[in-house]
Amino acid sequence: MYGLRSLGFVAVAALALASLAIGSARAGDFIIIQSTTSTQNSGLLEAILPEFTEKTGIEVRVVAVGTGQAIKNAKNGDGDVLLVHARAAEVKFVAEGWGVKRHDVMYNDFVVVGPAADPAGISGMSDAVAALKKIAAAEAPFASRGDDSGTHTKERALWDETGIDVAAASGGWYRETGSGMGATLNAGVGMGAYVLTDRATWIAFSNKGDFRVLVEGDDRLFNPYGVILVNRQKHKRVKADEGQRFIDWLTGADGQRAIAGFRLEGQQLFFPNAGGATN
Amino acid sequence: MQDFAGAFTLAFSLLASFDADLYEIVGLSLQVTLSAVLIAALIGLPVGALIATTRFPGRGLVIVVLNTLMGLPPVVIGLLVYMALSNAGPLGVLRLLYTPGAMIIAQALLVTPIVAALSRQVIEDRHGECAELFRSMVVSWGRAIATLLWDARAALLTVALAGFGRAIAEVGAVIIVGGNINHVTRVMTTAIALETSKGDLALALALGIVLLIVAIAVNGAVSALRAGTVPASHV
């Protein structure tokens, strides 16, 4: 097995040399942000990053994946900055020394969306846990991310509060897509299943069908985003100076104004709240 | 399904509007995949010819393994290349992750077994016909392989096109090692995946149609090339 693996790496190495010659090894100042799909799918980063690049000359390359994968990639040193939304996991990331410091950036909220027919009768509820209990009682289909993302983490925490063992219903009315937010929404709309989603992705989503927001306004649905510089002591190739400049900008007056100014269909999607930081 | 009809109109208006972003994405798709197919041909053709023309113990097993590798899932290749090129991996020092170079590597790994396995079959068939002739003329082994490759060039172009088709259409590998970074590593398939996840199904399908048109253009170009170089009786 080990022999096979090293053989594989030799093959990759040979190809790497070949494509170094062909591939565009574009130089220049850039940083890589490991971020979540919600910041990309909503169009936020595309809207605000040019201002930072214009000011500093630093290009920002965004890899948008689920929070779980973003954190894993950052631990591998494959990014300079982490911008995600799962506070407990972020704090752990910093506590274990992978990140330098967690800064508050912005927040929005999660909502439960579902079909207009609303078989579980949760429309207008503001108690998310009670709404999930009604969905379970009705055995109405519910589509879960099932991918360790920030949204999935939030969803599991809510199910924990209901005391319902959703794993037992997996494959029945509880359906784990194992995919990103957009793919899960597509699946949910396709099979008439309730979905927990962040509001930004939902507003930006074009394939809504007859789905609408049914549950909102619970304090437990608060969705804060944090930004963390990957620790150079773990990975010496981290571009700490450029990464820190980005964090300073994002959490400073200009970045916060840009976030507040981003609108889609007349709605503000993210609310700046920089100021707090956790070591 | 108004998405369906809308997609065709959108696809052609995208192409006709010379949208700079679209052409950048199409250009990168072609750059990555053609480079990968070229590398795969440089490795796969000699390997295929070697296996086709020599007899050694375990040859049957090698062929079975090679044929099996044609079915490697792109996402597995993406994962292996990611693990190798990650900063935590053995080749992180090359700084290739999230660059077109990483995507070329992944697709080359995907296509090489296809080129090697199919060209092995093509050359072995021809070799059977010519082996006697080569022996009677006392042709050197290298010369024989070169002759076989040249003689089979029409069939081998089809082999390369099979590799091209596999590489240009895959999303699993390039999205992991490229990261789908706008203006850096976004190609047709990852753009389609992104628009699908945004729920913009019409745009996603339109991009799919554009991808198909690009593939038709490449296949057409190769077909014209073949008509120019191969005598009609061989086509």
Instruction: Kindly indicate the confidence band of residue B4, based on its pLDDT and cuts at 50, 70 and 90.
Output: confident
ipTM value = 0.82
Contacts of B85 in chain A (CB under 8 A): 12, 16
Which domains are assigned to chain B?
24-186 (1.10.3720.10)
| A63 to B179: CB separation less than 8 angstroms, yes or no | yes
Residue B183's closest chain A neighbor by CA?
Answer: A61
| B199 to A9: CB separation less than 8 angstroms, yes or no | no
Q: What residue segments make up the domains of chain A, in order of their start?
A: 27-108+223-278, 109-221
pTM of the entire structure?
A: 0.87
pLDDT value at A199 more than 60 = yes
Distance from CA of B181 to the nearest CA of A (A): 6
CATH code for residues A27-108+223-278: 3.40.190.10
Q: The domain A109-221 belongs to what CATH superfamily? A: Periplasmic binding protein-like II (3.40.190.10)
Instruction: Kindly indicate the confidence band of residue A279, based on its pLDDT and cuts at 50, 70 and 90.
Output: low
**Rounded Cα gap, residues A228 and A204, in angstroms:** 26
| A46 to B182: CB separation less than 8 angstroms, yes or no | yes
| B197 to A180: CB separation less than 8 angstroms, yes or no | yes
Asked if the domains at A27-108+223-278 and A109-221 fall in one CATH topology, the answer is yes
pLDDT digit string, tens, across residues A41-53: 999 999 999 999 9
What pLDDT does residue B2 have? 62
Instruction: Kindly indicate the confidence band of residue B7, based on its pLDDT and cuts at 50, 70 and 90.
Output: confident
Contacts of A208 in chain B (CB under 8 A): 199
pLDDT value at B79 more than 80 = yes
Contacts of A178 in chain B (CB under 8 A): none
Type and span of the H or E element at B59 = helix B59-69
3-state secondary structure of B158: helix
